[in-house]
Structure 1
Amino acid sequence: MTTPGEKWTQAYIQAWRTNDPARIGALFTDDAIYLTSPDADPRVGREAIVDGWLEDLDTPGTWSFDWWIVREDAEFIAIEGRTTYPAERDYLNLWIVRLAADGRATAFTEWYMPRPHRTDET
């Protein structure tokens, strides 16, 4: 059975792959807060989140993302991942997501740490 955190993360990745404004917006409540790093200026509200995403988007097909849930409670998810941009570099990621009862995010904060570019999985 898919958990709410897995379902949300899968939907996020699909939105990331497509950069579809409707998919992006569907992830968040009207008053959600999105932080691209813990000390970044927050994007507040669904419209600001979608606009910010589209201003700073990744081109589909230029990245891959492997992830796993570190912790999940009724309203909280911690997701660890690795984003690989084959032409650039790799990042280790930590996402903290707070969910509303309907499964949309009320808050999203990400941390990403660049790693030396690797061309193999060793």
Structure 2
Amino acid sequence: MTSLDAVTAWVGNYRQAWESNDPRHIAGLFAEDAAYFSEPYAKPWLGREAIVEQWLKIKDDPGTTTFAWHPVLVTEDLAIIEATTTYPDDTYSNLWMLRLDNSGQARQFTEWWMKHPRPEE
């Protein structure tokens, strides 16, 4: 069951996992049989263990990003989140589709990310 409170808690925990790269924080985000799509049409990372493993292969260093987000839509089954992630040299717009289970863990997570063009110098 998805609610704004559950989504807000999940995004906060996601950010904590992003900053810590702690396998326990990452694992806590996802149901045992979750599917994580790193891009809409990519082969998903299936299962909590695989998600943790793949996350750690492409992790960001702590303290290298800023992140702002807001919900676009929250229904009982789905949350759509719009966000902006800023790295030292690049900025990305993000769109997330999130499906939570009754315990507040993600059953399915899909992310779209689009790199902002750099201003002409």
Is TM more than 0.5 here?
yes
Cα RMSD for the two superposed structures: 1.1
SS at match of 2:102: coil
- Give me the whole-angstrom Cα distance separating, in 1, the residues matched to 2:38 and 2:15: 16
Contiguous gaps of at least 5 residues in structure 1:
none
* Letter aligned with residue 32 of structure 2: D
Residue 61 (structure 1) aligned with residue 63 (structure 2): yes
* Letter aligned with residue 107 of structure 2: T
Residue 15 (structure 1) aligned with residue 17 (structure 2): yes
Percentage of matched positions with identical amino acids: 45
TM-score (ref. length: structure 2): 0.92
- Give me the whole-angstrom Cα distance separating, in 2, the residues matched to 1:75 and 1:58: 29
SS at match of 2:60: coil
Contiguous gaps of at least 5 residues in structure 2:
none
1:76, CA displacement in angstroms?
1.4
- Give me the whole-angstrom Cα distance separating, in 2, the residues matched to 1:43 and 1:51: 9
Aligned residues: 116
Please list the CA deviations of residues 79-113 of structure 1 after superposition, one character each: whole Å capped at 9, or x if unmatched: 10000002x21000000000101110000000000
TM-score (ref. length: structure 1): 0.91
Which residue, out of 25, 29, 32, partners 2:31?
A: 29
Highest RCO, 1 vs 2 (Cα 8 Å, sep ≥ 6): 2
- Give me the whole-angstrom Cα distance separating, in 1, the residues matched to 2:76 and 2:93: 25
Residue 89 (structure 1) aligned with residue 94 (structure 2): no
Please list the CA deviations of residues 25-48 of structure 1 after superposition, one character each: whole Å capped at 9, or x if unmatched: 000000000010011111000000
Instruction: Indicate if the aligned counterparts of 1:94 and 1:111 stay in contact, CA closer than 8 A.
Output: yes
Q: Partner residue of 1:50?
A: 52
Instruction: Indicate if the aligned counterparts of 1:81 and 1:94 stay in contact, CA closer than 8 A.
Output: yes
Q: Partner residue of 1:104?
A: 105
